[in-house]
Structure formats: C-alpha cells, structure tokens
Amino acid sequence: MAPLSAAQVEQFHREGYLVVPGLLDPAADLDPLIHEYEFVLDNLARELFARGQIASTHAGLPFGRRLIAIYRESGQVQQQYFDCTLHGAKVAADTPFWVGPEVFRLIRNPKLLDAVESIIGPEIYSNPVQHVRLKPPEHLTPRDAQGRLQLAHTPVHQDNGVITPDADETDLLTVWFPLWDATIENGCLTVWPGSHRRGLLDHCFSFNGLAIPPKLVEAEPLPLPMRRGDVLFLTKLTMHASLSNHSDDIRWSYDLRYNPIGQPTGRGVFPGFIARSAAHPETELRDPAEWQRLWFDTRRQLAEANTDRSFNRWDPNSPVCA
C-alpha cells in the first residue's frame, strides 16, 4: 500500500488523529499474532493449574472466553503476562511479559512503517512504550479487596502525559489498532479532535491510571469504532480514552509508538530499536531473537538494581487534582 496521502497527513496534523481503514490485512498481518497469543494463554493456564489457582485450564473455550474464565477463577487479571513491555514498578527476575517473534514482526510491518514514514520521516525508531490490551467485560472482571475493578476503561489522557519529561520535544507517534473489531459496546477508543492544540495538560492519579481531571476536559469525545485491519494514528498530545466493555467477550488491541531516530523515548531504561533507516539501513534490527534478548537483559539488569522506578512526573497534591 502506498504511504499516506497529503490529505490524510494534513488531517492528522489538523485534527490530531487519523483512522486508516484496512491498512493491515487481518489474515496475513493479525492472525499470526493471535495464534502466538493462543500459545501464551495456554502457558498461563498450565502454570495457574499447576499451582492450584484454577481447577481447569478451560482448554475447550475460544480465546476470549478462555481468558475471561481464567481471570475469574484465579481472581486475578494477568495483564502483565501478555504485555510486550515491563512496568515502572520494581521489576523481578521473573516478571512476566511477552516479546515473541510475531510481536516483533508486527512492529516492523512494512505497511505500518510506510504510514509512519509519511508522518515522521524515514528514520524510524521503535519506541519501547508499547502495549497489548486484552480487556475483559467489566461485569466479568475480578475486583480487588476494595471492590475495585482490576482492569477497566482507560481514562482520559495524553500519551505525552505518561512519559518522562526528557521526551517532551520528541515527535512521538502512537499507532493503535484492534485485533478484533472494536465497537462502542466492547470499549472502542474515543478522541477529542483538535485537543492536541491545547498542549500538555495536567494529569492526576486514578486507580485506572493517570488521567486528565474532568475540570480540564472540554467538549464531548468522538467514539471511533474500528474493524480488524483499521489503524489509528494519534499525536502525543491528542486527548483520548476508551469506553467500558459491556459485551460478553474481550476487547483486544495493540498500541505501538514510534519516533525519529535519536530522539528520547520517555522510557530510557527500556530497549527500543531502529525499525527503518533510509540513510543507514544496515542499522535496522531485523532479528526477533535479538530484540527478545534486549528485553530479557533489561529485565535482569532492573531486577539486579532492585529499585522502584517511576515514570510519573505529576504531583498528586496539585490543586488541579483536588
């Protein structure tokens, strides 16, 4: 597919977001990743069963229903087990995460990189702020000891608000897409068109993550239902959130980030890599095993350091959060 048109790029800069229908091929680009995660889920089920935390591996259920059943029986949302990054809290030598070959191939997907190049240029760095989101229906999600959902809708935020200040000048691009259709019922994303022109807003602590306080949220959001293969591009300052999942199955999505080579990532301790370089193609990382090794080495180093790391810049006692 050709890179984005001039009109698409203009819309991205004007509105702060752009949806490109059918950029990815569901069968060729997404199904291999789904099959890889079936293996990951099977491993999780076997581990929990061996530890006596579940009485059945629920092997006969489809992926989404199986994930829900395992979460409910174990009483725990195992989000970190599937994620393709580490977290900001203390990392242990056995902190789970998944950086498999199909994840790597997706990050380097030429269709994605062609579109990314249309926005930030041909020197593309894979930013390590990247996530897979497997969100079960809220009415089927386990709660913590205080009765709070362990995983719920994503609050209103800007991606610039959840990275470290050294990356404030980085030309960070968010690339979001569903692996299954994202609908209003199952919790699609919502955006505030043009909100990127307001600059970086204050964020406050919430149980679901950093959030822009309601007093700073203007106008109504625009829901963005998307089909498998559609891709959403967001600026780092575009306000966005997700709706709650009121369906009977999971909402499954990926969000990746890219920036020009040489710019800070906002997660300096995590390993990014050169995904595309027109000037120096020999510097591109092409080996998924090497990418996996970088992450495993990082986990080991962080575990040995044995310190809590916070990527938060915000003061919880700020008056705006009162």
Per residue in 153-176, pLDDT tens?
999 999 999 999 999 999 999 999
Q: Which domain holds residue 206?
A: 14-25+84-311
* The predicted structure's pLDDT at residue 110: 98
Residue 232 lies in a domain: yes
Residue 43 lies in a domain: no
* The predicted structure's pLDDT at residue 315: 92
Query: Does residue 45 register a pLDDT over 70?
Result: yes
Q: What is the number of domains present in the chain?
A: 1
Residue 129 lies in a domain: yes
Residue 292 lies in a domain: yes
Residue 161 lies in a domain: yes
Please give the model's pTM, rounded to 2 decimal places. Answer: 0.96
108 confidence band (pLDDT: 50, 70, 90): very high
Residue 123 lies in a domain: yes
Query: Does residue 308 register a pLDDT over 80?
Result: no
pLDDT in tens, 173-204: 999 999 999 999 999 999 999 999 999 999 99
Residue 147 lies in a domain: yes
Residue 256 lies in a domain: yes
The mean of the pLDDT values for the chain is 96
Q: How many CB atoms lie within 10 A of CB 2?
A: 7
Residue 276 carries which side chain, given as an amino acid letter? Answer: R
CATH number for the domain that contains residue 216: 2.60.120.620
